[in-house]
Every structure is written in C-alpha cells, then in structure tokens.
Chain A
Amino acid sequence: MAVLAPAPVSTAPVPGRKRLSRALSERRTRFGLLNAAPVVVYLLLLFVYPIFSILMLSLKGESGGFTLHWYTDAFQGANLEILLTTLRISAETSLLSLVIGFVLAAAVSRLKPLWAGLVMVVVVVPHFISALVRTYGWIILLGEHGVVNNALTDLHVPGAPFQLLYNELGVVIGTTSVMLPYTVLLLYAVMKGIDRRLMAAAASMGAGRLTIFRRVYVPLVAPGLVNAGILCFILCLGYYITPALMGGPKQTMVASLIDTQVMKQDQWNGASALGIVLLLLTFAGLLLLRVLKSAGERYRNRGTAS
C-alpha cells in the first residue's frame, strides 16, 4: 500500500495552437469574449491597475529609481516580527476555526433540516453585523470585569479573572469568531454531501465508531478541511479591525502596520511593499492548496497491488 506509483498521465497529443485559433474563429467564442469585455475593463481599471501601481511604489526609492530597500526593510527587525506574528495568529485562528467548525458542522449536518437551518442562521447572522460592533461586543464579554470573568470569579475558578483581552488569546478568540461562518458553511456543505449509508456499510463489515470516523468520515471531509483552512488563513492574513482592537502591542499584524505607515508616517513605499508581501503570501496559500490537492490525488492513486 505504501508503494507510490505515478499518476496516470494522458499522453494524447493536443494540437494546442490549432485548437485555439479554431476556437477563436467560432462565433460563440467571439460572442463570449464580447460579453466578457466590460468585466475585463472594469477589473483592469479598478483592480489590476491599483495593484500594479502599488507594486511600482514598493520598488521606488525615496529619491526615485529602482530599489529593493522596502522589501529588505519588511523582512527586518520589528517588521519581520510582525510578519511572523501575522502568520502565527493566522495559523492559530485557522486551526481553531477548523476544529470548532468541524464539530459544529458535523453536529448541524445531523440535525433535521428545520433545526439545521436555524443553527446556520445563528452562525451566519453575526456576520451581517459590523465587525466593529462585534468586536466591541467581545470586549464587553471578555474584559477584566466582563461577563465571562465575572462569572468565573463568582464560581471561584482559581486564577480568575483571566487576561482574555489585549493579548494573543484575545485576538485569536476574536478572529476565530469572524472566520467561523466560513469554515462551518464550507464544512457543512461537504458533510451534507456525504452518504451516511457509507458509515452503515463500514459498520456492517465490523468497523467501530472511531474507525469509521477515522477511515471513512474524515477522509471524505478532508478536501473541505483543506479548502476551509486555507481560506481562513488567507482571510486572516489581511484582517485588521479585530486584531487591532482586541490585541496588545505584541499582536500587531501586518494590516495594522500598513495602516500606521500610511496614516501616521506617510510612508507609502514601505506600506506598498508590505501589501505586496501579503499578496504574495496569499498566492502562496493558494499554491499550497493546489499542492495539497494534487498530493491528495496522488496519495489516493497510489499503487496497491504489486
């Protein structure tokens, strides 16, 4: 089972260029291109152009001319630390959202449709409220004399009140609550698509609950876990409000740093470089997604009989 075999590759010759030109000469294709034109113009103007100009800004020296100075800056000292903190908090948040999201989605997917719908509304509705309001809500709950700490103190929990705000714990709690709807929705969709009778089939041949979970359920949910995890991670990388309000100075994330550089220091070049770094990290995340997917595919296609 451990023998790796190369995935079967289609070796049929593809007359690439010929096919392209034939496709272009087709009426339907030309019509399609015409339809896409407004969107293409829109994206070029409002998306590609700004990113391109930011890229140019990040490569421009203070006295003009080309420089990589802003990038070496981004990867040095305090900036590097902020970058690493961002990556760490994003990873922690993704992991926590995945775990909670998995449990929640698994529970909801077993409920009757009416109840499932109700729970999903409860999960998603907070998302419609302004992130600022939501964050202040958390601050009220988690403060030193907030609801949570008061309850814990009244119950004489040793060590209470706890420091639940203005540290990494606070940031992770806050961002996780923001990310949870994404993971729950993604995982719920995958879980709903799993034929529950597969578990019955596994049980019929002698698999216990834990084995069924490990060998059948989790592998079937795995693609959803990868998707949800990467999405969470990417969203977290550039997240701003919650970390800024619920974290301390040690939890400054890249987005806050960019904000400081632009708003307080009028330092557009450095901020641009950081923005490009975030963009590249996002691409790296998406690339990781593809790599994991093809690795999963290869793993599944691994040789068996030999």
Chain B
Amino acid sequence: MPETHVMSEPSLAAPAALAGSGKALSVQRLRKTYAGVTAVDEVSMEIAAGEFVTFLGSSGSGKTTTLMMIAGFCEPDSGSIVVGGNDVTRLAPQKRGLGFVFQQYLLFPHMTVWENVAFPLQLRGVSKAEQRRRVGETLEMAGLSKMARRRPRELSGGQQQRVALCRALVYRPPVILMDEPLGALDKKLRDQLQTEIKRIQQELGLTVIYVTHDQEEALVLSDRIAVMRDGRIDQFDTPQELFERPRTPFVADFLGAANFLPGRVEEQSADHTLVRLDTGGLLKARPQAAPDGARVRAAVQPGRLLLCPAGDGFCTGTVETVTYVGTLVRVTVRPLGAAHTDLVRLELPAGHAPALGARVDLAADTANVSVFPDAEDGG
C-alpha cells in the first residue's frame, strides 16, 4: 500500500464555531446511478447544526447510498456535498472529518475498548493527557467505564455499538452519520439504545444523520425525517408534520399505515374538502385542491379513527377481528354498502374494544384526514 497520506484536520476544531453558523451540512442535487439504475435522484437538503435527521425508507430507496456519498465511501455522479462551508464532494472519506457508526459496529478486534475510542484522537495527534481525559469522559457518558480494558469480542452487541458510538463522537466531528446502527439488536435493547443515543445527541448538541427503515425508530429519534422512495425524498419534515400532514400517499402509508378510502370530491371549501366515499358515506377532509367529482383517496390513520353513535359517522360496518396489543386494541371493520372494499383498520384504547360482529359507526376529525388525487399511485 503506497501513498503516504498527510493528516490534515481543518474541521477538527470546527464544531463550536459551526453551532453558531447554523448550517452543518448541505447536499445539492445529489445523483448516483448503478449500471443504468438510478439509486439516488436529485436529492437536496440542508441540515442545521445540532439537528437529528433521519433518512427513512425501505431497502432500495436510496437512503444508504445517500449516506455513503456523504461519508465519501461512494462517489456521486453529480451534485455537491458541503460540510461546514467546505465542499467535500470529491474528498476521500478520511479527509472529511465526519463520524460514522456502522450497523456491524466494526470495532478494531486487536484493540481494547479504550484503544478503540482513543484511536481517532491518536490520529489527530491529541496529547496523552488529553486523550485520557476525553476517552474517560466519553466512556463514562456511555456507561462503559468498567469495560475500558475489555476487547470488543468480550462485549455484547449493545455494548459494542455503544463503544462504536463513543469512537465516532470522541473527536467531535461536525456531523455523525449512522447507518442502521441498531439494526442488529433485539427490540428491547434497541429501545434502550434509542433513548441513549437521543440523550447523548441532545447533551452534546451533535448533528446526526441516521438511516433506518423502522418508522417508529425514526419518529422517536428525529428532529426531521426525510422519507425516501425510489431515490427521491418524498417529504422532509418534522415527525409531527409527516404524521399529520403527509404530502404523498406513500408517506401516509409508510409512517402512519393509513387507511385509504376511495371516493369522489363532492364539495370544496376553504377549510375542508368533502369526499363522497364509494361506501356511501361523506367524509370531511383537510382542504385539497381537486376539481369536483375527481377520483380521490382519503387517508386516515388507524389511531385517528373513532367509534361514534349510529348515523354520525362516515362509514358503518361490522367488526371482523379484535387483537389486543398491550394497551391498544387493533380492530378491523368491514364497511357495509360496497361489494369490494378493503377492511378499515382502527386502533382504540384497550377498554373501548367493540365485540366481534358488532355493527359500528366510524368517524374522524377533519384535521386528521388527508386527500390524495387517485392518479398518483402511492405504491
């Protein structure tokens, strides 16, 4: 392996200054194709310092490719990546000064926990005393002080990932990238580490870009979520916005597992759109520019549906299944009035479960119903 590489860390001292300047990372019209297939298509975004941003999408949505391009492990066909004011688009990963947490931890097996965390500091010529202070602090914060002398293989998966996290943040990179870091852990540990990652991120004011396919995880962790599909960002918004005002059927489905109810626009007004459902009922939705009579789909999440007295709802049906999920009960209802319609899914507090086969009426708040033109296929 030739090529002597001289370390240059212009970004090392930067984070403090960056926090003031606001913008930690800017991605402009990033594009990547593999053998003619577009993996990432014109992705642009601005990320503020101290922000926790998640790329959410299923596999093949381009979320990981985008992350890899930001990290420098994969070169974009076009577009630019700017970190803290420096264009790093064509820079090797080691010259970008970013932090990366891998799904497979990738701790150095020949080094102890302590040495793993000290490694990036040694690369930066940090003095021994300073190394000791910072590694000690970081391990302490992650609750790993007692593990300092252990080797990675003597640790559990959760502990290993905590060490990897320490190793990525000990040198205070301006942005830390995380590629499904909790993907290899079981549910309970995942929940625990989510809380921990969030706590550390907030405590230290870290800027984090996080990749996951788990919408719950994205909702718990993120300040903003970029929902990705087919190499594009469908919507980049706060969790609340995404949840309550999905801009595409895909977002409504992916984040909220929404019910889609087909119908026609019956009436438009400034504060609502009235939809005549195929099952016969009338449903009031948030305003959506669509011509009267246009085919649309009204989307409403299972948790936003309510049971109501007969005649007050938009839909009447019979209860087909009732499933208890802890404090919630999941109910499916077969709407009356149309031959071929999907079951409507509800989530109700456990105490309010209707009986199987019961006839129920469903209602929803106008603010919780979105309308999408039928032409746009949500997949």
Question: Interface on A for B, CB 8 Å cutoff?
Answer: 1, 5, 106, 195, 197-198, 200-213, 215-217, 219-220, 300-301, 303-305
Contact = CB atoms under 8 A, between A and B. Distances in A.
Given A213-B1, A300-B151, A206 B108 contact: no
B18 interface: no
A208 B120 contact: no
Question: From DSSP, what is the main secondary structure of chain B's interface residues?
Answer: loop
Interface residues of B, number: 42
A1 to B, nearest CB: 8
A222 B36 CA distance: 42
B98 A204 contact: yes
Contacts of B120: 205-206
Contacts of A210: 1, 3-5
A304 B97 CA distance: 26
A201 B7 contact: no
B104 A206 contact: no
Contacts of B112: 300-301, 304
Contact of B168 (A197, A205, A301, A304): A205
B115 A203 contact: no
A305 B131 CA distance: 10
A204 B108 CA distance: 13
Contacts of A1: 115, 118, 128
Contacts of A303: 149
A297 B151 CA distance: 12
Nearest to A305: B148
A198 B106 contact: yes
B79 to A, nearest CB: 21
Nearest to A208: B5
A209 B5 contact: yes
Given A1-B118, A206-B120, A213-B1, 5 more contacts: A201-B102, A204-B71, A205-B100, A208-B6, A210-B1
Given A203-B92, A206-B7, A211 B123 contact: yes
The 3 closest A-B pairs by CB, nearest first: A208-B5, A204-B100, A304-B114
A216 B108 contact: yes
Contacts of B104: 195, 197
Nearest to B98: A204
A203 B108 contact: no
Given A204-B99, A207-B94, A220-B110, A305 B119 contact: no
